[in-house]
């Protein structure tokens, strides 16, 4: 059998305030076209279908319409899981009816132990979960994420059909992977990472969570990456989907073409506003400009926006910074763990001891668990 691996759609996401719904609709249409062209037997979506736990009405409408097209009209089985951006409770609404049309949407840990068989392949769908959920499931109070994954995979192995291939679909950070600027960092120290060795018994691991297909280089595990570029750091990162044939289990990349690309350009202000120059440009792209000018330019942003409607930022390469939204966003990307350890080092001139780091890990994890419960309750 053949299946398509995608994920991290983040429907409803905005890029520096710019709405992406039309871009997301077009890119999902391209994903469906690839599924049809490649005659796949299933579509795998590895989490983060929405960008927020409480998505907008427009985002819900787009995802619903997508599932109608893929599952009801084109008859593709869908194997999907919730990610850390999704509300597992909200996303699971209607789930008992979904499976009647081969639409499998798993949002709870216990569902991971019900494999789905298509052709010669068993799929194990493991949604994103917080350690508290694993502690309750296994009745162990001090279970870490890594220890939970070890127990989960061991239980899955007991369900392996030796005559079939085994695919794990999950949404976590695998140790050794590289991040991009568009991902929400939820890690507490190193506790949120999963060693690759824990999942290497599977013939293929369809990962979601990181937004680059090149985030992890292993033989059997791949991140699909997001179908659109969500940050300037992904400017040179090709976006697409993986097609996997069960005969070889070797992933084949199929590239997607965005409606509006993310690009950087270094030029003088005079060049950028010259009709002879900009009429040859893709002005609808999301542009980050690096100006070579040194002098002050009155009304600079208004003049540029009248020509290039989607500007992410403008910076001076020769010193002066006028407007640079990218740097402002990067300053907000430090994790709570990094900020607290840096603050401690600046104040005391010393590093945290191993015991102090453990206390910090435990305290931050408790905050994350509390925030998650409060979100789900609302």
- The domain that contains 52 carries what CATH number? 3.60.21.10
pLDDT of the residue at 376: 61
The domain boundary, picked from 224, 255, 286, lies at: 255
Of 38-47, 81-90, 186-195, 281-290, least confident by mean pLDDT is 186-195
Give yes or no for residue 377 having a pLDDT over 70: no
Average pLDDT over residues 92-99: 80
Which pair of structure tokens corresponds to residue 189? 């120290």
Tell me if residue 30 falls in helix, strand or coil. helix
* One domain for residues 116 and 232: yes
Confidence band for 321, pLDDT divided at 50, 70 and 90: very low
* One domain for residues 55 and 21: yes
Confidence band for 190, pLDDT divided at 50, 70 and 90: very low
* One domain for residues 173 and 214: yes
* One domain for residues 274 and 206: no
Average pLDDT over residues 71-82: 96
The domain boundary, picked from 255, 277, 293, lies at: 255
Q: Are 283 and 308 in contact (CB under 8 A)?
A: yes
Q: Are 224 and 249 in contact (CB under 8 A)?
A: no
Q: Tens digit of pLDDT for each residue in 210-237?
A: 999 999 988 899 999 999 999 999 999 9
Average pLDDT over residues 290-315: 92
Give yes or no for residue 320 having a pLDDT over 60: no
* One domain for residues 9 and 107: yes
Tell me if residue 112 falls in helix, strand or coil. helix
Average pLDDT over residues 262-267: 95
CA distance 229 to 329: 15
* One domain for residues 56 and 89: yes
Q: Are 55 and 93 in contact (CB under 8 A)?
A: no
Of 17-26, 44-53, 169-178, 212-221, least confident by mean pLDDT is 169-178
pLDDT of the residue at 182: 59
Q: Tens digit of pLDDT for each residue in 129-170?
A: 999 999 999 999 889 999 999 999 999 999 999 999 999 999
pLDDT of the residue at 350: 66
pLDDT of the residue at 319: 60
* One domain for residues 300 and 351: no
Average pLDDT over residues 43-60: 95
Q: What residue spans of the chain are helical by DSSP H? A: 21-37, 57-67, 88-91, 95-98, 131-138, 145-157, 269-272, 275-278, 300-305, 325-331, 336-348, 354-377
CA distance 63 to 67: 6
* One domain for residues 13 and 120: yes
pLDDT of the residue at 187: 47
Average pLDDT over residues 352-373: 77
* One domain for residues 58 and 182: yes
* One domain for residues 356 and 369: yes
Q: If we measure between CA atoms, which residue out of 6, 36, 43, 1 comes closest to residue 241?
A: 6
Q: How many domains would you assign to the chain?
A: 3
Give yes or no for residue 205 having a pLDDT over 80: yes
- Return the higher-pLDDT residue of 369 and 327: 369
Which pair of structure tokens corresponds to residue 130? 């917080």
* One domain for residues 37 and 106: yes
Q: Answer whether 0.95 is exceeded by the pTM.
A: no
- Distances 291 to 165, 231, 302, 318 between C-alpha atoms, Å: 54, 20, 15, 8
pLDDT of the residue at 366: 78
* One domain for residues 188 and 304: no
Domain interval for residue 359: 334-377
φ and ψ of 34, to 5 deg: -65, -40
Give yes or no for residue 323 having a pLDDT over 60: no
The secondary structure of the chain in percent helix, strand, coil, rounded to multiples of 5, reads 35, 20, 45
Q: If we measure between CA atoms, which residue out of 17, 21, 86 comes closest to residue 50?
A: 86
Average per-residue pLDDT for the chain: 88
Q: If we measure between CA atoms, which residue out of 117, 125, 127 comes closest to residue 41?
A: 117
Question: What length is written for the chain?
Answer: 378
The domain boundary, picked from 220, 237, 255, lies at: 255
pLDDT of the residue at 322: 45
């Amino acid at each position: 059998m053949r299946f398509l691996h995608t994920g991290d759609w983040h429907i409803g996401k905005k890029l520096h305030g710019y709405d992406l719904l039309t871009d997301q609709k077009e890119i999902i249409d391209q994903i469906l076209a690839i599924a049809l062209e490649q005659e796949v037997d299933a579509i795998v979506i590895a989490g983060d279908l929405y960008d927020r736990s409480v998505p907008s009405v427009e985002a819900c409408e787009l995802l619903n319409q997508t599932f109608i097209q893929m599952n009801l009209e084109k008859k593709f089985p869908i194997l999907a899981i919730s990610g850390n951006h999704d509300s597992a409770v909200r996303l699971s609404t209607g789930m008992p009816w979904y499976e009647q049309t081969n639409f499998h949407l798993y949002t709870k840990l216990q569902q991971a132990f019900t494999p789905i068989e298509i052709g010669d392949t068993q799929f194990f769908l493991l949604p994103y979960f917080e350690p508290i959920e694993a502690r309750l499931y296994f009745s162990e109070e001090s279970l870490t994420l890594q220890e939970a994954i070890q127990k989960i995979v061991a239980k899955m192995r007991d369900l392996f059909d030796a005559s079939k291939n085994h695919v794990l679909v999950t949404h976590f950070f695998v140790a050794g992977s590289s991040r991009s600027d568009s991902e929400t960092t939820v890690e507490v120290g190193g506790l949120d990472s999963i060693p690759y060795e824990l999942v290497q018994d599977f013939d293929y691991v369809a990962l979601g969570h990181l937004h680059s297909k090149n985030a992890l280089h292993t033989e059997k595990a791949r991140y699909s990456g997001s179908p659109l570029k969500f940050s300037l750091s992904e400017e040179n990162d090709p976006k697409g989907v993986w097609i996997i044939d069960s005969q070889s289990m070797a992933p084949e990349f199929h590239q997607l073409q965005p409606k509006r690309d993310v690009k950087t350009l270094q030029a003088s202000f005079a060049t950028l506003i010259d009709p002879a120059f900009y009429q040859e440009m893709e002005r609808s792209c999301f542009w980050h400009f690096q100006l070579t000018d040194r002098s002050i330019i009155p009304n600079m942003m208004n003049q540029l926006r009248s020509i290039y409607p989607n500007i992410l930022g403008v910076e001076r390469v020769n010193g002066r910074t006028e407007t640079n939204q990218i740097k402002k966003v990067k300053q907000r990307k430090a994790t709570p763990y990094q900020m607290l350890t840096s603050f401690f080092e600046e104040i005391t001139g010393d590093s945290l001891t191993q015991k102090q780091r453990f206390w910090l890990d435990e305290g931050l994890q408790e905050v994350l668990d509390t925030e998650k419960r409060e979100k789900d309750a609302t």
